[in-house]
Amino acid sequence: MKIKLYHYTIPCRTGVVLRKQPLTERQGLIIRLEKNGKIGWGEIAPLPTFSRETLSECEAQVRQWFENPTDLMDNFAPSVAFGISCALAELNGTLQPEGDFRSAILCDGDVAKFSAKLTACQAHLGKIKIGFNAEKEGELANLLLMQFPDLQLRLDANRAFSLEQAVKFAEKIAKPLRSRIQFIEEPCQTPALSRQFAEMTGIHIAWDESVREPHFLVKDEPNLTAIVIKPTLTGSLEKCVSLIQQAHSQGISVVISSSIESSLGLTKLARIAKQYTPDMVAGLDTLHLMQWQLLRQWQGSDLPLIDENSEFLRLILESED
């Protein structure tokens, strides 16, 4: 098997912030496997402020895997395990080629821009990042639900609210409109408070950060409608598929969600969504945060495409066994 490892750097658009830290560029590793004329690609891109592993640690682990490709994926950091397992799945033909490129449309507060994107893709599903100003964000959610009668909303709080703040958010949304909120991802600082919020307001919740905690178990419970899987932060493709199967067996929906991967990584997520969660629209509306696409074209994007000869993509390791 021939193995190549690349390092990429893609400039981000101005104003991208992760947990109060500006993200001016996205960096990651790309692994390319070739065997018997077949090729498999994978992206290893730990997300700053979210992933525990650094990019240099990822590179060291990939080099370790090069030395012993039989190592179990569980031995590696989540982004490494996911990238390598995706490359192997593509190489072996176990990841289907078709993708589901639908996505919840992100609203950053610009209602006119959000409306244009909804119209362009004929979508009826939006998403708002919340957790900064409960009352203003509640007013925005209420406005969108009133202005777009067919709209369903997903909300993501990243555990930012206290119970009091989360309830203030909900109070800004008219009760007849709340049923069109599919869920709020982890509205409160602890799962127990999030459960209490759901019981008080009637708004369903989804687990996101909880899914990545060491002893997480998929369990059906009142007001829980979905779990969100961010594969780059979760682990190998096999681990993600196991979580999906556990959730589906208990009637819980699963949303595949991005961690601001490149277009290559996003197309992999679209394929995973198509194959394993075909009835659920994924959360992949993040390519607009970047200035370039990488190796694979995202359906409908007009961003310029980086190929293997680009200055943004550098070969750092090559091996053949």
Catalytic annotation, residues: 129, 230
**Angle between the N-to-C axes of helices 191-201 and 163-171, in degrees from 0 to 180, rounded to the nearest 10:** 30
Q: Residue for token digits 């995202």?
A: 298
Note whether 243 and 217 are within 8 A (CB). no
Q: What share of the chain is helix, strand, coil (3-state, %, to 5)?
A: 35, 25, 35
Q: How far apart are CA 10 and CA 91, in angstroms?
A: 25
Is residue 154 exposed (0-12), middle (13-18) or buried (19+ Cβ within 10 Å)? Answer: buried
Is residue 264 exposed (0-12), middle (13-18) or buried (19+ Cβ within 10 Å)? Answer: buried
Is residue 121 exposed (0-12), middle (13-18) or buried (19+ Cβ within 10 Å)? Answer: middle
